[in-house]
Amino acid sequence: MNDNLFWPIYKKIEEEFKDLSYYIAINKKQLKTYSIKIADLILRTVSECENIASTICKRENIKFKDKKGHIRKTVYFNEYIEQLNAIFKLEQKNVSIKYINIDNNTFDSKLTPFQKEILKINGKQKSILPWYNAYNKIKHDRVKNFKQANLENLINSLAALFMLNIYLKNQIFYTIDNYDYKNITKKIENFSDVFEIDYSIKTNRYDHLYNKNDDSFFDPISYFEVGLPMSVYVLECDKEIKTDTDKFSDGLNKLESKVMILSPDGTLTPKYANYPLTDHKTVCKIVASINRY
């Protein structure tokens, strides 16, 4: 999936948010601060969320049908998110804030932008995403709902957009010859200047670090697996995948299998009869991929 239509837009909005942090001190007391600029950023940010959620669903071959089994033309954002949540467990995934201009105590815990809250709307209790509800209010009646254009809703919606972009990218990182975790985790940590996603390690390479029969408090395997549900990326060891080199080799194989020879009578015949196509794969020391656990 080519993310060039989406990632640059996220980075542009992120830069504007970073600029904003030089004009508004971002801390716990300021979370309800609202402005025209914040309203503009929220509208653009959540609009991107809607587009990317739809795009990921198409990639995952998710179809939305009516009661008669026909493909629906109109699909709502919450429906996209419900389907993606079923695949990626979005509601559990964490996003950390790491930007220097944001006070470390602005939020009491890591952000979980896709975790719904129970709010009372028009006298009825509904389970909603607060930042998405704010976006709809701002979009449909900005004058009445101007206070919804605040820093808290902006930060959470931007965290959601960041996470959706990571799922859209669907990048795989790997090392073939060594167990260099730092090389892999550095790539995951450097997606954004403002946010950082959680990652966990799913491996048995730590068996030798402790004696299963002793009373040691620290269990490395359990430690990493506890964080697995909250992690966007998972790192696995000694896993077979199709590397970039393998994809290139597959491509060469396909080209070679289609080579034709021009006979003297002008007819074309395959150079190779029953050419065996090889599905190239490599066992890598470490593979980091999107967490579907």
Q: What is the mean pLDDT of each run of 10 residues along the chain (293 residues)?
A: 84 98 97 98 98 97 90 94 97 96 95 91 86 97 97 98 98 94 94 96 60 56 78 94 92 89 86 86 95 90
pLDDT of 209: 45
Are 151 and 238 in a shared domain? Answer: no
Quote the CA–CA distance of 253 and 204 in Å, as a whole number.
35
Position 36 in a domain:
yes
**Whether residues 66 and 147 fall in one domain:** yes
pLDDT score, position 210: 44
Q: Where in the sequence is the domain holding 236, given as residue range(s)?
A: 171-293
- Tell me, yes or no, whether 131 and 31 share the same domain: yes
Last residue of a domain, one of 137, 169, 201: 169
Which residue's entry shows tokens 């009373």? Answer: 215
The pLDDT value given to residue 217: 55
Same structural domain for residues 36 and 161? Answer: yes
Q: Answer yes or no: do 121 and 49 share one domain.
A: yes
Q: Are residues 163 and 180 in the same domain?
A: no
User: Looking at 154, 169, 184, which one is the last position of a domain?
Assistant: 169
Final residue before a domain boundary, out of 109, 138, 169: 169
Residue 233 lies in a domain: yes
Relative to beta strand 260-262, strand 233-241 is: unpaired
The answer as to whether 1 is a domain residue is no
Q: What is the structure's pLDDT at 213?
A: 55
User: Quick check: is 48 in a domain?
Assistant: yes
| Res 173: pLDDT | 97
Sheet with 233-241, edge to edge strand ranges: 173-175, 282-290, 233-241, 199-202
144 inside domain: yes
- Note whether residue 52 is domain-resident: yes
pLDDT of residue 275: 85
Number of domains within the chain? 2
Give domain status of residue 2, yes or no: no
Q: Do 163 and 43 share a structural domain?
A: yes
